[in-house]
Amino acid sequence: MSKQALLQRYQSNNLDLKNRVVMAPMTRSRANNPEKKPTEDLQGLYYQQRASAGLIISEGSQVSEEAVGYINTPGIHSKEQVEGWKLVTDKVHNEGGKIFIQLWHVGRMSHPDFHNGELPLAPSPINPNAQSYTPEGFKETVAPKEMTKEDILCTINDFKQAAKNAMEAGFDGVEIHSSNGYLFHQFFNATSNTRIDEYGGSIENRARFFFEVLDAIKEVMPEQKIGARFNPSLNGVFGMTMDEETIPTFEYIIKKLNDYDLAYIHLSEPFTDVSDISYAVTEIAKHFRPLYNGTLIINSNFDQEKGNQVIENGDADLVAYGKPFISNPDLVERFANNLELAEWNQDTFYTPGSEGYTDYPKASEQVAS
């Protein structure tokens, strides 16, 4: 079992992980308290149960009140939230685990209900024509407010402060959520960013906001503790539409990141079938691995066999698993012993409380009972 690529220790200049299995960031909507803070008995236990992963990347956590777009998601912008996250990181570290927090701003994928009736912020006033899950249920998205340069500067500072807060909370690092149709991705994409200033138009301009945030975060923490997530072939999800410049944009960003000394970049394989789109990339890891010199995490629909294979092929260094970690807190141990995986209950992905969250048993507990 120890010969599995997934179970090998991973060491780079910036990471030392006990295995190559990463717990992917997943929204679980359990911060249903006024402070939107994690608690010891819920998030603390949830992440502690999964600390055998080589690396945990937390659920997306908003960097400000303006960044929120889903109910009951935790933040990392208040003292109460920092104190709550300290309880989580302590529990993970006590189990010998490592955990990064994902820093999140949803941009236009929000609703005025979250912002006292004000419009959500985005690069351009273009409605994603999607749905936002509000306290009153699903509602249609609206055309957002185009961010002013002051809004952009404030948001850069929000990310910078959130990274500083994350270090105070004891995280091993941060992941910038620049993926899945949220704020940074909206800047990258020419169909959601029609600005004519220095943040729009050319590929370099559309990537400018991301790099300004990255440079700001570097001022408060070592860049070796920073990761970033991207979804280059996202199409038809979260209001995103690919065009001929989409892949060249991500090629530019990822090549430019070689100038930094990041912990990793985290890429997702396509969420939908893009084989009929001539300018899409259907094998993300294989395409981008030659372009990036640092640690590469790959994600989306990997099982044990495919995870081992992508590492053995040299197309990725680490593999991130999402839903399998929901129902298998001992996913690493199940891989090690080639055990069957437990099924997840999708009905409890986003519901309050412990059901479908911290009550999935480990294989050893099932045997013992």
Partnered with residue 80 across adjacent β-strands are none
On whether the CB atoms of residues 232 and 284 are closer than 8 A, the answer is: yes
Instruction: Count CB atoms within 10 A of the CB of residue 314.
Output: 12
Checking if the pLDDT of 279 tops 50, the result is yes
Partnered with residue 104 across adjacent β-strands are 62
Question: What single letter denotes the amino acid at residue 353?
Answer: G
What pLDDT score was predicted for residue 2?
Answer: 58
How do the residues of the chain divide into helix, strand and coil, expressed in percent and rounded to 5?
35, 15, 50
- Please list, in sequence order, all residues whose beta carbon lies within 8 angstroms of the beta carbon of residue 273, skipping any fewer than 6 positions away: none
Q: Determine the length of the chain.
A: 369
Mean pLDDT of 86-92: 98
pLDDT in tens, 221-245: 999 999 999 999 999 998 899 999 9
On whether the CB atoms of residues 275 and 245 are closer than 8 A, the answer is: no
Checking if the pLDDT of 1 tops 50, the result is no
Checking if the pLDDT of 188 tops 70, the result is yes
Checking if the pLDDT of 261 tops 50, the result is yes
Checking if the pLDDT of 186 tops 70, the result is yes
- pTM score of the predicted model: 0.97
DSSP 31: -
- Please list, in sequence order, all residues whose beta carbon lies within 8 angstroms of the beta carbon of residue 16, skipping any fewer than 6 positions away: 9, 10
CATH of the domain at 43: 3.20.20.70
Catalytic residue ranges? 182
Mean pLDDT of 4-10: 98
Angle at 234 between CA 118 and CA 246, to 5 degrees: 95
On whether the CB atoms of residues 46 and 8 are closer than 8 A, the answer is: no
Coil/strand/helix, residue 75: strand
Checking if the pLDDT of 369 tops 50, the result is no
* Token duo for residue 170: 């004891």
Question: What single letter denotes the amino acid at residue 142?
Answer: V
* Token duo for residue 369: 């009972």
DSSP E strand boundaries for the chain: 10-11, 16-17, 21-23, 55-62, 99-104, 121-122, 131-134, 137-140, 145-146, 173-177, 226-230, 264-268, 296-299, 318-321
On whether the CB atoms of residues 239 and 109 are closer than 8 A, the answer is: yes
What range defines the domain where residue 134 resides? 5-368
pLDDT in tens, 46-67: 999 999 999 999 999 999 999 9
Residues above pLDDT 90, as percent of the chain = 96
* Alpha-carbon span 19 to 2, nearest angstrom: 10
* Alpha-carbon span 347 to 86, nearest angstrom: 29
DSSP 220: T
The count of structural domains within the chain is 1
Q: Is residue 133 very low, low, confident or very high in pLDDT (cuts 50, 70, 90)?
A: confident
On whether the CB atoms of residues 63 and 77 are closer than 8 A, the answer is: yes
Instruction: Count CB atoms within 10 A of the CB of residue 240.
Output: 24
Q: Is residue 366 very low, low, confident or very high in pLDDT (cuts 50, 70, 90)?
A: confident
Round the average pLDDT of the chain to a whole number and report it: 97
Checking if the pLDDT of 312 tops 90, the result is yes
